[in-house]
Amino acid sequence: MTADRLSFATEAGLTLPSDGRILLIGAPGDLLTEALPLERCAVVQGFKPDHDLWQRRGVPVALAPEGDFAAAIVFLPRSRELAEARVAMACAAAPGGLIVIDGQKTDGIEPIAKAVKARAPLLGQVSKAHGKTVWFTATDAFADWAREAAPNAHGLWTAPGVFSADAPDPGSAALLAALPEKLGAQVADLGAGWGGLGAGLLTRDGIKTLHMVEADHAALECARRNITDPRVQFHWADATAWTPPELLDAVVMNPPFHQGRRADPSLGQAFITAARKMLKPSGQLWLVANRHLPYETTLAAQFRNSDEIAGDNRFKILHGSRPNR
């Protein structure tokens, strides 16, 4: 939510409660908060970098609502299922209270607002800065929007909003098919998601420890359900800042490349840079990326040897060895 849009909404009739706590669901860690009584706010945030930012700001942050709230503000995610789950969470956390939903048009605020209006009368709405804010009184009409982690059609645990929730990702499958049989004893899967890539890695000979690093807490909890191999160590962490307990033989990854709906190649580039720091001098990196993403220059800058070892018109499998120091 932009500070401008929230301020604009208050001028158009949105009145936040004068007392009682306010829950911010999915609020980004760098949120501008001039229009909020921050001393009365608490945050639900499962994305590790944003979770840590709220902690550093001194605002209570948790993985689920704790206690009662007079109002809740929902920050719209990219996933429709996760957006609906957040609305249901808001209504359950602030029964009879004020519910505010804010999002960009590119994140689906229009269809969500339409769906909300069909179930509950809106108290107001404003549009500004390519987005919209709507507000209404909490009701149990959204109870059926509540969603939890559950097995998908393939019997794999996934959760609303996690990457490739419906089925194994074809990019990860292509990466697994291109990997050598032996990767080394100490291996990390950066951006491990719900564990699809990691499960395939564990079929390789010689792996003694597989570090599965994932910033999305919901996805990591699914990975814990999907993989019970004692060689796995799970880390709720930002892969670009995580430090392994010892230097690694290999890093394998299918890095994210979106911020919301906007493609952001710098995310994958940051993963490559981070991987280089984790590896032994003889260590190697393997990654899969969509064909159009510009990772080769970064890979060449971070590793003495780099090349494309496989691919098709959709994906490319990149390999780096002998990390630069």
Q: Are strands 150-151 and 131-137 parallel, antiparallel or unpaired?
A: unpaired
Q: Are 160 and 194 in contact, with CB atoms under 8 Å apart?
A: no
User: Of 145, 164, 179, which residue sits at a domain end?
Assistant: 145
Q: Are 106 and 130 in contact, with CB atoms under 8 Å apart?
A: yes
Residues 141 and 199 both lie in one domain = no
CA 92-26-137 angle, 5° bins: 35
Residues 116 and 227 both lie in one domain = no
pLDDT at 10 over 90: no
Residues 174 and 135 both lie in one domain = no
Residues 227 and 266 both lie in one domain = yes
- Which pLDDT score is estimated for 261? 47
* The two three-digit tokens of residue 271, written as one number: 């993963």
Residues 201 and 294 both lie in one domain = yes
pLDDT at 260 over 70: no
- Contacts of residue 62, Cβ cutoff 8 Å, sequence gap at least 6: 42, 43, 44
pTM (two decimals): 0.94
- What are the pLDDT digits (tens) for 155-186? 999 999 999 998 889 999 999 999 999 999 99
pLDDT at 41 over 90: yes
Residues 84 and 13 both lie in one domain = yes
Q: Are 134 and 6 in contact, with CB atoms under 8 Å apart?
A: no
Residues 100 and 117 both lie in one domain = yes
**DSSP label of 293:** -
More confident site: 293 or 5: 293
Query: How does residue 212 score in pLDDT terms, banded at 50, 70 and 90?
Result: very high
Residues 111 and 189 both lie in one domain = no
Residues 158 and 141 both lie in one domain = no
> How many structural domains comprise the chain?
2
How many CA atoms, within 13 angstroms, populate the side-chain half-sphere of residue 131? 19
User: Of 112, 145, 178, which residue sits at a domain end?
Assistant: 145
More confident site: 205 or 101: 101
Query: How does residue 263 score in pLDDT terms, banded at 50, 70 and 90?
Result: low
Q: What is the mean pLDDT of the chain?
A: 94
- Which pLDDT score is estimated for 319? 98
- Which pLDDT score is estimated for 265? 79
Query: How does residue 198 score in pLDDT terms, banded at 50, 70 and 90?
Result: very high
Query: How does residue 35 score in pLDDT terms, banded at 50, 70 and 90?
Result: confident
Residues 226 and 161 both lie in one domain = yes
More confident site: 34 or 84: 84
Rounded mean pLDDT, 51-59: 97
Residues 61 and 116 both lie in one domain = yes
We report the CATH number of the domain holding residue 185 as 3.40.50.150
User: Of 89, 113, 145, which residue sits at a domain end?
Assistant: 145
- Which pLDDT score is estimated for 259? 54
Q: Are 298 and 269 in contact, with CB atoms under 8 Å apart?
A: yes
Rounded CA gap, 62 and 52, in Å?
Answer: 10
Rounded CA gap, 195 and 156, in Å?
Answer: 9
Name the least confident of 32-46, 226-240, 261-275: 261-275
Residues 95 and 234 both lie in one domain = no
- Which pLDDT score is estimated for 205? 84
Query: How does residue 257 score in pLDDT terms, banded at 50, 70 and 90?
Result: confident
Query: How does residue 3 score in pLDDT terms, banded at 50, 70 and 90?
Result: low
Domain hosting residue 193, numbered range: 152-323
Query: How does residue 70 score in pLDDT terms, banded at 50, 70 and 90?
Result: very high
